[in-house]
Amino acid sequence: MIRLALILCFLPLFALAQEFPSHPVKLVVPFPPGGSTDVVARLLSTKLTDGFKQPVVVENKPGAGATLGTEQVARAAPDGYTLLITALPSIVTGPLTNRAVRYDPLKDLTHVAMIGSFPNALVVKADSPLDSVAALVAYAKANPGKLFYGSAGPGSAGHLTGELLRLRAGIDIQHVSYKGAAPAFADLLSGSIGADFDGVINAVNQARAGRIRLLAVSSATRLPSHPELPTIDETVKGVVGESWFGLAAPAGLPPAIVQRVEAETLRALQASDVRRRLEDTGMTITAMRGPAFVDFIRADIAKWAPVVKAAKLDQGSK
């Protein structure tokens, strides 16, 4: 009788998993079209469409540092038909730095899977006298307040890594915020800023073209694809800062649907064409399941919260 009761209890969940999805699914990207997040979303949506046998439509909802689209998903019905591409700015730095954010990144979302992560590259112009992280630190110590570095925007992984470098090395460097990686890189080439945190693939290509010098990457260990590149951490201990992407849904998503979406996502990340394309962007594919991903997010929040406070990044918009 107990076994029969358990079977009857779980029958609705099995039926729910088999029925889902019965119509198109929306995949929200809280960033503008064309960026790395958008590339990830469109690759994933194609594979999810195949797995679900229903269209998975990408919808870009940029604004407020990626928190606008994230909030919309957090307030959506928890039925599996509204999914979200998550990233460091929307889940960690946005809620840490902006009181206007009206969602709790852990309580108001179901984190289904982590997709992958990638570091930034610390770069200078090719003709810069700075030829290493050690040289950059020495220059900053000798010239406090005179070295300006750029990033893709406030609260971006590049910005946070720069602030972590400033704190750990005990140097006075000035952040210049841009609306994206491209304008920051353009100002580096023009000489308006002395250093920049840029995507690894672009940095490697630009270094090969002789336009910049790549000093180090912000990963915890050297990249298997570029073992010749040192990490910042090798010179200044504790300076590790990586961007990451994940897939989420509104809180309260039924377990059967969570399992279905998770399974299809992990299956998509095993596809050779998806792996090849993502690895070409410099991403390390993690394909982490939901519970482990939540632990990862908690650790990331704990890591960056004191950096945000020390750098007073919570003063402007809060």
Mean pLDDT, residues 149-177 taken together? 93
Mean pLDDT, residues 7-28 taken together? 71
User: Is 70 exceeded by the pLDDT of residue 40?
Assistant: yes
The pLDDT score that the predictor gives to residue 182 is: 86
User: Is 60 exceeded by the pLDDT of residue 98?
Assistant: yes
Strands 109-125 and 25-29 come out as unpaired
User: Is 60 exceeded by the pLDDT of residue 189?
Assistant: yes
In degrees and rounded to multiples of 5, residue 28 shows phi and psi of: -85, 130
User: Is 60 exceeded by the pLDDT of residue 293?
Assistant: yes
The pLDDT score that the predictor gives to residue 180 is: 81
Least confident of 83-92, 152-161, 251-260, 286-295: 152-161
Least confident of 3-7, 111-115, 135-139, 267-271: 3-7
CA distance 264 to 84: 15
Whether the Cβ atoms of residue 136 and residue 124 lie closer than 8 Å to each other: yes
Token code pair at residue 36: 């790395």
Least confident of 129-138, 275-284, 293-302: 275-284
The pLDDT score that the predictor gives to residue 103 is: 97
Mean pLDDT of the chain: 91
| Residues forming beta bridges with residue 84, ordered by sequence position | 28, 248
Task: Using pLDDT thresholds of 50, 70 and 90, give the confidence band for residue 64.
Answer: confident
Residue 238's region, left for phi above 0, alpha for psi from -120 to 50, else beta, is left
C-alpha pair distances (Å), 108 with each of 84, 102, 104, 295: 12, 10, 5, 16
User: Is 70 exceeded by the pLDDT of residue 268?
Assistant: yes
pLDDT in tens, 194-213: 999 998 888 999 999 999 99
The pLDDT score that the predictor gives to residue 11 is: 45
Mean pLDDT, residues 117-133 taken together? 96
In degrees and rounded to multiples of 5, residue 9 shows phi and psi of: -65, -40
The DSSP code for 230 is P
Task: Using pLDDT thresholds of 50, 70 and 90, give the confidence band for residue 18.
Answer: low
Task: Using pLDDT thresholds of 50, 70 and 90, give the confidence band for residue 9.
Answer: very low
| Complete domains list, the chain, with CATH | 26-117+243-310 (3.40.190.150), 119-234 (3.40.190.10)
pLDDT in tens, 230-261: 999 999 999 999 999 999 999 999 999 999 99
Least confident of 7-21, 144-158, 175-189, 205-219: 7-21
Alpha helices (H) along the chain: 2-19, 36-52, 67-74, 88, 94-97, 133-142, 157-169, 181-190, 200-208, 255-270, 272-280, 290-310
Task: Using pLDDT thresholds of 50, 70 and 90, give the confidence band for residue 162.
Answer: very high
Token look-up 């998550």 returns 86
